[in-house]
Each structure stands twice: as structure tokens, then as C-alpha cells.
Structure 1
Amino acid sequence: MSNFATSIDVRTLERGSKKDIIFEAFEKLNLDEKMELINDHDPRPLYQYFMSKVPEKFKWEYLEQGPEVWRIVITKK
């Protein structure tokens, strides 16, 4: 059993809709719930987006950092 409330494989999402889908999933999390994000590159711009929108309401933690797969846990604080 996973300890993630949701898991999103960004590699399967259409370009242009990714950020909205990810942020919407984050907003649905309860406090201290975690979501897993899977991507084929470092989603650093997404981290910057979270910093601009909810700077003190999330925790970003890398589980895997490439070179082919990046896995990030985003926790709602």
C-alpha cells in the first residue's frame, strides 16, 4: 500500500495542462497528505511555481533524481 494520497505520472499528460492538473491535485490534499510526482526531467519550474503560489504550504522532496526518471514527493503543510 502506498503512503501517497495520489500519484501523477507527468510523462503521460498533455503538454500545456500539466501544471494545472498537478496543482489541482495538490489543492485537494488534506494537511500532511502526500502526492507523488513522476517525470522524465527535473520539474524545477514547477517547484518555482509552488514557491510563488504557496511558499509555506508545501514540502518538496526528491525520491529519485534521474537521469531518466525523477520522483518527487509533495506534502501539503
Structure 2
Amino acid sequence: MSSFAAIINAPDYPPRIRHQAIFECFDGLDAGEVMLLVNDHEPRPLYYQFQAERPGDFVWEYVEEGPETYRVAITKLN
């Protein structure tokens, strides 16, 4: 994937608002758009939160899987 509608570098956000900022960005996407999440650790808890809060609304694809940098393309389906 070469084009992203938004890029979120998670470590740039304070922990207390990090997931909120990511979800706000995702919610601002149009159907079919993709955001890139960049993180310094495995974002598995965020994936589970997406499954709970946005079931069936996203596709989660790893672009890079650590060990120092994790990059995930998150596509909005609806």
C-alpha cells in the first residue's frame, strides 16, 4: 500500500488519550480509506478493542511486525 488517508504515530500521543485519538482518526475515514498506525510495541490490545467496538467495520493488516516498529494498515469498511 502506498497511499494512506491518515498516519498515526501512536507514541506521539499521551497514553491516556492514545486509543481515543486513533479511534477518532478511524471514525473520520470514509469507507474504503486506509490509515496507517505506527507503534513502538505490538498493538494487539488495540486490535481487540477494534474487534469489540467496531466489529465488521475494519480490516487490520500488518505492514511491519517489529521488533522495534509495528506498522498496521487499518481499512475502514463501512
C-alpha RMSD of the superposition: 0.7
Q: How many residue pairs end up in the alignment?
A: 76
Offset from partner CA, 1:41-63 (integer Å, 9 cap, x none): 01101000000011101000000
Unaligned runs of 5+ in 2: none
Distance in 2 of aligned mates of 1:73 and 1:30: 15
Distance in 2 of aligned mates of 1:53 and 1:15: 19
Distance in 1 of aligned mates of 2:35 and 2:17: 18
After superposition, residues 1-77 of structure 1 pair within 5 angstroms as 2-77=2-77
TM-score between both structures, scaled by the size of structure 2: 0.94
Offset from partner CA, 1:4-42 (integer Å, 9 cap, x none): 000000011111110000000000000000000000001
Q: % of aligned pairs identical?
A: 45
